Each structure stands twice: as C-alpha cells, then as structure tokens.
Structure 1
Amino acid sequence: MTEDELHDLAPLYVVDALDADEVVTFEDHLRGCTSCADTVAELSEALVPLSEGLEVAPPPQLRQRVLAQAATSATVTPAHRTRRRAPVWLAAAAAAVVAAGGAWAAVQWLDESPTEQVVQAEDAQRHSAPTDGGQLVVVTSAARDRAVITLPEVVESPEREQVYQAWFIGEDGSARSAGVLSQDALEGREALLTGSPRGAKAVALTVEPAGGSTQPTQDPFAVVPLG
C-alpha cells in the first residue's frame, strides 16, 4: 500500500470502516505519521457521540426479573453479513463534512448506514427471544460497540402519551437507557440503539411516559438475553 493510500485511510479509520488487517496496517503507519495523527485527532473530536445512555439505578424487582429471563431464553447465532467497503473518495467527502461540524451527516455519507454497519460487522452476533407478536432480535457488534434491535412482525403502537424505551441491563441489574423507539422505528421495525452494549446482560423494553425515563418505571414486557 502506497503512502498516499495510507493517508486516505484516516477518515475510514475514524468512522471504524476498516477491516482488521487494515486497522493493523494503518495503526503501524499512524505511529510515524504526524499528518495522519492530526487528521485522526480532529475527526475523532468532531465525531463525539451526540448522545449517550445514562447509568441509572433500576427498580429493586428489575434485576431478579431480567436475570431470570436471561438465564432461560438466550438464543445467540452469528448474524448474516455481506460486508461492503466505502470507497476512499466517499470517506474523504465524509471527512470534509465532519470538518465543517456535521458529525452525524458524515456517518450517513458512508456506503453503509450505522445500522447496516452493525448488522454487517464481521463479529455481529444475533440474539433473540420470543414474544406474542414474533421474535424480538438484537444484533450486537463488539467491534462497532453498538447494537441494533429488530421488532417482531406484529408491533402495536404504545398508548397516547407513552413510548417504548430500550434498556441495557447489566450483570448487577443496573439499567442504562438505550433510547426511545421512534414512530419510524416502530413502522420500520428496526432501530440503532443508543450507547454501547458493552457489559450488558440483556436488552429490555418497557413502556414509559412520552419522552422516556431516566430509569425504568415498569417491569419490562420483553427481554432479549445477550448470552
């Protein structure tokens, strides 16, 4: 790989669009390249996550209920994937958008959407649990450090002034918000969860007041163990 080609990998490295071999090659180059180090630092600062889940204390009953379900119904299989690479010129365009302050738009410029990047990741794992309306599926990727939820075929909208909210449940029963499911997510049956699934034992869904809650206010109506 030429020096110019290595420089072109900087935007792809920042948005985690390189495969494992390319990461090793680029990081070897990065240690001796001031120009790429500056580029990575600038783009990384621009791509600070727009929102993160908040660690909160769950209701006392939540830990026992979630861990009991997680112990009995885990289904984990490799997720189907067909990886596609973003062309270098497109990554460069994304970098230009980031430099202008449009972090989220930059990600959208890539060949794969953030949701697809998780589902198509080399290490993607598919976790599922049955519900009355069908299978509730969560795909996780340690490399992407994100998770995608796919809703059952039959999904009823919540009551007025209520929303469905996802939660990452830790080994100790702690709950971190993974985001409120929008109407678009309900209609499309798929959503990129907010924050990192790292350390989570399960993903749970609850019904919350409009706008969401800082901690679950009800027992979960669905739980997907993460293995």
Structure 2
Amino acid sequence: MTQPEEIHSLAGAYVLHALEEAERETFVQHLRGCVACAAEVAELNETAARLAEDTWSVPPPAMREQVLAAVRRTRQLPPPRPVREPRRAPVRWWRHPAALTAAACLLVAALVGGVYGVQEQRLREERAATLAAQQELARTQAVLTAPDATVRTADVAGGGKVTVVAAPSRDAAVVLLATHSPGAQKAYQLWLMDGGTPRSAGVLAAGQGSATHLVDGVGAADALGVTVEPEGGSASPTLPIIAQIPMK
C-alpha cells in the first residue's frame, strides 16, 4: 500500500497509466487536494501528448467499418447436397470454411470496437481529471495572489500546522495542512463555522496528513476548524476540534 509521504512521487506513473487500480484511485483523490502534484500531472500530460503524436495506437474508427465491409463481400457458399449415407455424420455449419471466415471477421470487428471504446472512455476520463486539476490550480493561484488575501496560521493538536490564505474578493480560501497521518481508515475534515453552526468544507483522503485544499463560500464564516473523522467524513464534527483559525 502506498505510504502518504510516497504518493507525491506517483505523478509520472499516473500519467503513463502504470498504477494499479487501487493506487490510481488513491492518487486521483490526492490530486484534488495537492497543487504541486496537479501542476506536475498537467505538465507531464502535455509532454506525453507531444511524444505520442506519431505513435498513437488506438484503432481508427474506420477500421470497424472496413472489417464489416470485408464480411459483406465474402461470398457464402451454398450448403452441400445431403448424401444418403445413414452412418455419415451431418455437416456442421461451424465447420464450413466460408462460415468460419465470416464468424472470424465478426469476432475481430467486435473486439476492435470493444477495445477502441474502452480506450476512448479511459482517455476521456483522464482528460476530465486533468482539466479539473488545472482549473482548481488556477483558482488556487487566484486566491493566493488576490490583493486582499490574508494569511493566518494555527497549531494542530499533537503536532503540525494549518495555514489559511483567505481572499474575501474571491469568496474562497486555500488551506494548507501539514501534520501527522490521522491513522488507518481515518481522515481530516475541514469545517467552516457560521455563527457557531459548522458546515463541512471538505474531507481529505484517508491517512493523508499533508494537503492543499481549496475552500469556497468563506465570506460568512467566523472560523475554520479541523477534526479527525472516519474515512469519507462525517455529517457533523467529531470532538475535539484539533485546530481552529479565526476567519475575521
């Protein structure tokens, strides 16, 4: 299992589709909260696209039609006349050369279409994830460089720091958490306090202790708090609040 401190080194393998499914899902979650990894993935994707321009191996859409056209051009021979020999086994259609050719062509066409569809779907998913990461990176940079941005820092119980860069003009804040892992099947959850009423501002990946997270809708918030919750987060904070930063 990938350790939290090792996940930042998986950007290259992620771009090259070399991660196992479990690692890939973990890294996609990590990507949503890590500005550095999002930028690295965007750069690597651009580089990989340039390198692959002359080596793209996904079957072209016309191939399926070409295969089906070959099937239609294959002349089907008429069935042989029955021989009145009681002991002779009947002729099976799957032993006929023309039938075998047609069946093989149909199978190839189905396989080509299936492979192409799977690769196309995966490509769309990767493009969507990269675009989302680039958009979040741009919004994060806008908050950090806003003229009214303010920086506040607080200690995390048990060790570590949490820093909040808030920009009222953007109605958003960037939270930088640097602390120890919350433990197996545990996650840090962020909360905005509006007049004493908490609302969730995001849940980090299970076991993740360091992250950069973009939070929207901070205009009315009085404070931001951090708690340890079960993996996936909770509907309300689990006490104690291990870090709290005033927003005003």
TM-score by length of 2: 0.43
Bigger share in helix: 2
* TM-score after normalising by structure 1: 0.47
Query: Is the radius of gyration larger for structure 1 or structure 2?
Result: 2
* Structure of greater relative contact order (alpha carbons < 8 Å, 6+ residues apart): 1
